[in-house]
Structure 1
């Protein structure tokens, strides 16, 4: 079906051409705008983003903190093309982040995208990550890369998101901030930074709480970080960083379509004969919720030897998670092994990485080579319990016997490790740049089953996935203001433990899952047009053995391998400065993601059925069109600024057959105001923000493949947020 690309991309390409022609004509020639950010993602060394043959965007500190609470990375990444970040209004399940459609199937957490924070992976060795651990209060920038070059980062397929915090420098300063808004939401933050005796430091602590937009969606979060930097010699740099993250959050779960239309702020209603004749609200009856306690720390040392450098880093951490799910009592007691309705695990994780970078003169140009390795491992001490305490009929849940940890139903140790080696090289001449890379990945899973009650077998086992992925790219400098490039790579995406936990019947481990492999093609252009910068990328991704949702119910999701899929699309970003203080940004994504061949599957209980997914069906959780636009103005003498934002998103299918009600498309507008003033050593800032100013009711995100038909997670109507901050420099 690759011949669909020209016709299906025709309309987006016309739009791109029109925008490219119109915006430069409107730009003011006497305004200055920084349009070429320095990035390290992709090449692993400092590189101008304009000269990198890849789709990469930088979200700087100004946009991360653009009159926002700085709680969710969705606030910062809404303006990045190719990336879809959904705030689910459900802190128990984290954000939904997808890159070119990869990761959209994830029931919770981030899948298919490599997450890194200050050099420490926020993704586990199996590929599952949590963006909630990003500390946005101290973030200096977030680099987002999509496409073929991201394959050099290993076991994932969609892209790389890296967050960086600044080093402590200059005179010491302290800063405090407070914000509050709709639905009992508030956040406080205090920080300090500076340099004393040659040691730079950044310290931050924050607390966030909300009653939640939906019923049973309250959350509390505490977050801290500390970063120390020290130069033991002129050519050496030592960095130490530590983070903690603690969160308690209720889980409102999804809604059926009629429930969303009737009461978008409520929780789902269920009448299930398996647990008795009493009608129940699963989220309330089972008191669905999740608690997380996460601590990690890392150390890195970089030393330069003239044009060469060596970097060695290590990290370690611990994560404790307890999650209460709405698994019906009858299905918590199958003869096969079950997790029960309560998941409880303690995870220890650690990693070690090293790389050497050399720079040489070659054939009239500059050759940069990098050779390195990454080793990561995680061990879970995992138990599962019934979400029920008592005896007799499971209907006793109505007597406050559910929502409590009951009998042990699962006990095991889960271990996963990855060991990757990679090599990259880039030759940069006067007009041509050629780059390539090779990475060998090995991901090993091992399960030690420790639960035996005579009614189930031994689920112990192991499986290993191994793949070598190449990357090749070329860029040509047409003029000083125009670069064109092309790249191709192979991608590798192994199943995560979360995708292996349940087989089709909801029971034992699914060791039969295969890794998804993909081939990525991309061509693009980067142009400086007066005081505007235009980035455009056209891509195609062909995937085999795509991992898809087989069933999802009550917090338990089973997966399977489908056949071939294809993703074709266009990404466009346009930044402009119209006059002094007036700027705009436009980000557009067209994505045609579909199954390239038919496949059949039998869904799991409670509604088992054999279904056929036809070739040409769209991948669920993926919108065909996404548009972000912003116009911002700042009056420098007074420090006053204002901006209006618009977000438009196409409809989203909720399951593979595309036969259930799709989440409709929507358009929302946001408005924000603020003022920044400085009085000697004291800097003050205040802001007021209104989101969804026209009070639209819409589905903000979907739960792909939910077996009970509760696919929809509603977004709030009109909301407000106000905040103040003060910084004093000594």
Structure 2
């Protein structure tokens, strides 16, 4: 593996600052460390604003509804077609991706887990293991990448200091759902460890919708002397999931529980094994300089029988992330880099399910055999300086270099399609300003970002590397205000933004499993995001905490011509104009909480011509939990809930620009679950 000379330079420069700092006798104070909850450190750098969900918010909608959880954040929209079919868009970025999540960076604790093609798989992580979810909207993250969508950081629960306990939670619910989470956590002065095993099975709401998952998570931290710390992390998820696929409008409205006929006949499914292993070493030098370096390995084994063929793929990835932080010239700097390489092997086979007498998929002859070697280098630096007592500024720079090397292992001679594509380096500067108020703070930022094309966009339907495809590029402007009023019992947040994107990546569907990518015009993303939380005691024992998150998306094509069709001026496909998440928590002391939450999603344009839209919908969820300390060592926790209280038939996810083949209607809709119930029992033993 060759190490980029740019990376060597970025890692060497901090030693110069360290050497200079050693000559000084004075002690420079460390920059402020912001904690989110229970010792979980905020991951963003300097004055970069972010949005965070903590444990109490993640428990409002039960252990499985990740969409309702993520969608509590304004500007962030997770579309979920099933437990294994999720797509996240942030401020409209990623809305044109048909399957999966791209155009953002996903981190698990300190480790980047987005693959070499830019795709992230959030279903590889169990929601019950999370202590906080932090989101950076737009490309302003710098040290967390400058993807146009932003970054999402999943933070695991940390053991409580000085405690040892064994906890088990069991949940049952509709669709024969059973979930169990068994956790052991131990913490002392210089060492902590957390080991969690989880199991989930459910038949699902629809035909061919069964899901079974097993997961193991190990995290541990060991202090190495007075200055060092070693963190270990291992996460493995294995699941099999039936695929009911999308429905046309008639079937969606009349029988949303059915599966698509072809997928049902093939008994289509996917089997996945995800593994992530990482080691992070942190060291505090003399003076202000600190370093955190992570090395990690990712592995994916994916097998998916589909009606049109069977996909078999394996991805092996290796990476390094190193970050230096310290003080220089009266300010705070961050300097570091990420190096990620993966080898993606995939092939397709005939699916002979029609010859299998109704027993589902059976593998036939090989149709293709491919490899792709992908590499990404991200180098970044930020510098934050206090200009006055209340006013500070931060500049940042990110350099990305991406290379794809495609190998055709199936065809020989003139039919061989091997090719290499090295994208031009992308330099993404940013500027952020913060003004501290007596009861809040104001932010302003301008940042440049980019999105790499995914695999389907880099290849033509014939499997040849498309030499004309280039990266999306955009500039984001943002104003944000955070306010803490009424003795901090009322928290308000308001953001307005404008992002202009050019070289828009479009994956045009030309067959049942064939797409061609191209750059097609420009989009304008502008919007308003409002969030409010309020906590008010209504008696000596009861506290009412209402909350609200509102999103206004005014996103449109500025210049988009597709053949003879001019869609310029149309609203951006796949994005609802308005969304509202609201509700309240009613708490009785620290023991009992009753929650009601509401989600409103506006209609979503499904075609670039805006000729068809999904229906707007409103969904109500209710839940309650009760915790009691039974003895000095035993704690009991009960919870129950109802999701989709009024049994609304709505699309949890949609496909844009769907095409019907062989005279069939296009299939735009993934039905969400109907009314469903769950209940849980948790026991914890404190040693």
How does the TM-score come out when normalised to structure 2?
A: 0.89
The answer to whether the 8 A contact 2:457-2:506 is kept is: no
Match of 1:298 in 2: 278
Match of 1:716 in 2: 673
Deviations 1:585-637 (A, max 9, x none): 11000011111013114xxxxxxxxx614111222221110100011111117
The answer for unaligned runs of 5 or more in structure 2 is 1-35, 661-665
Match of 2:303 in 1: 322
Partner Cα separation in structure 2 for residue 557 and residue 291 of structure 1: 24
Residue 87 of structure 1, CA deviation? 2.2
Is 2:347 aligned against 1:343?
no
Q: Could you say if the C-alpha distance between residues 289 and 558 of structure 1 is closer, same or farther in structure 2, counting changes exceeding 3 Å?
A: farther
Partner Cα separation in structure 1 for residue 351 and residue 573 of structure 2: 30
- SS where residue 290 of structure 2 aligns? strand
Match of 1:243 in 2: 235
The answer to whether the 8 A contact 1:72-1:87 is kept is: no
Deviations 1:484-510 (A, max 9, x none): 221001111111224334x2x465444
Match of 2:659 in 1: 707
- SS where residue 242 of structure 1 aligns? strand
Partner Cα separation in structure 1 for residue 657 and residue 446 of structure 2: 32
Deviations 1:33-54 (A, max 9, x none): x9999863331xxx6xxxx353
The answer to whether the 8 A contact 2:299-2:317 is kept is: yes
Residue 167 of structure 1, CA deviation? 3.9
Is 2:443 aligned against 1:468?
no
Match of 1:490 in 2: 448
Partner Cα separation in structure 1 for residue 61 and residue 520 of structure 2: 43
Match of 2:130 in 1: 139
Match of 1:571 in 2: 529
The answer to whether the 8 A contact 1:146-1:158 is kept is: yes
Is 2:374 aligned against 1:416?
yes
The answer to whether the 8 A contact 2:268-2:305 is kept is: yes
- SS where residue 615 of structure 2 aligns? coil
- SS where residue 596 of structure 1 aligns? strand
Which one of the candidate residues 643, 646, 650 is aligned to 1:694? Answer: 646
Partner Cα separation in structure 1 for residue 37 and residue 534 of structure 2: 9
Match of 1:671 in 2: 622
Deviations 1:129-152 (A, max 9, x none): 100122322222111111341354
The answer to whether the 8 A contact 1:325-1:555 is kept is: no
The answer to whether the 8 A contact 1:325-1:554 is kept is: no
The answer to whether the 8 A contact 1:549-1:704 is kept is: no
User: How many residues are aligned here?
Assistant: 636
Residues 31-70 of structure 1 correspond to what in structure 2 (within 5 A)? 40-43=42-45, 52-54=47-49, 56-66=50-60, 68-69=62-63
The answer to whether the 8 A contact 2:140-2:448 is kept is: no
The answer to whether the 8 A contact 1:200-1:229 is kept is: yes
Residue 419 of structure 1, CA deviation? 1.1
Q: Could you say if the C-alpha distance between residues 552 and 676 of structure 1 is closer, same or farther in structure 2, counting changes exceeding 3 Å?
A: farther
The answer to whether the 8 A contact 2:281-2:293 is kept is: yes
Match of 2:346 in 1: 382
Q: Could you say if the C-alpha distance between residues 315 and 582 of structure 1 is closer, same or farther in structure 2, counting changes exceeding 3 Å?
A: same
Deviates most, 484-493 or 284-293: 284-293
Deviations 1:35-94 (A, max 9, x none): 999863331xxx6xxxx353x11111222233621x453242121111001221252xx3
Deviations 1:142-164 (A, max 9, x none): 11111341354336211111011
Deviations 1:659-684 (A, max 9, x none): 2x311101111111121111221111
Deviations 1:518-556 (A, max 9, x none): 110101111112121111110011001111231176455
Is 2:62 aligned against 1:82?
no
Match of 1:623 in 2: 576
Which one of the candidate residues 90, 114, 118 is aligned to 1:127? Answer: 118
Which one of the candidate residues 362, 372, 392 is aligned to 2:336? Answer: 372
Match of 2:292 in 1: 311
Q: Could you say if the C-alpha distance between residues 90 and 554 of structure 1 is closer, same or farther in structure 2, counting changes exceeding 3 Å?
A: farther
Deviations 1:83-117 (A, max 9, x none): 001221252xx311110011222232211121100
Residue 171 of structure 1, CA deviation? 2.4
Residues 231-630 of structure 1 correspond to what in structure 2 (within 5 A)? 231-268=223-260, 281-305=261-285, 306-327=287-308, 341-360=309-328, 362=330, 367-388=331-352, 396-397=354-355, 399-400=357-358, 403-428=361-386, 429-452=388-411, 457-465=415-423, 466-477=425-436, 479-501=437-459, 503=460, 505=461, 507-530=463-486, 531-551=489-509, 554=512, 556-579=514-537, 581-601=543-563, 612-630=565-583
Residue 424 of structure 1, CA deviation? 0.5
How does the TM-score come out when normalised to structure 1?
A: 0.84
**C-alpha RMSD over aligned residues:** 2.2
The answer to whether the 8 A contact 1:471-1:490 is kept is: yes
The answer to whether the 8 A contact 1:175-1:192 is kept is: yes
Residue 120 of structure 1, CA deviation? 1.7
- SS where residue 570 of structure 2 aligns? coil
Residue 728 of structure 1, CA deviation? 0.7
Partner Cα separation in structure 2 for residue 424 and residue 118 of structure 1: 21
The answer to whether the 8 A contact 2:192-2:222 is kept is: yes
Residues 79-118 of structure 1 correspond to what in structure 2 (within 5 A)? 79-89=72-82, 91=84, 94-118=85-109
Match of 1:150 in 2: 141
Q: Could you say if the C-alpha distance between residues 559 and 39 of structure 1 is closer, same or farther in structure 2, counting changes exceeding 3 Å?
A: farther
Partner Cα separation in structure 2 for residue 688 and residue 553 of structure 1: 45
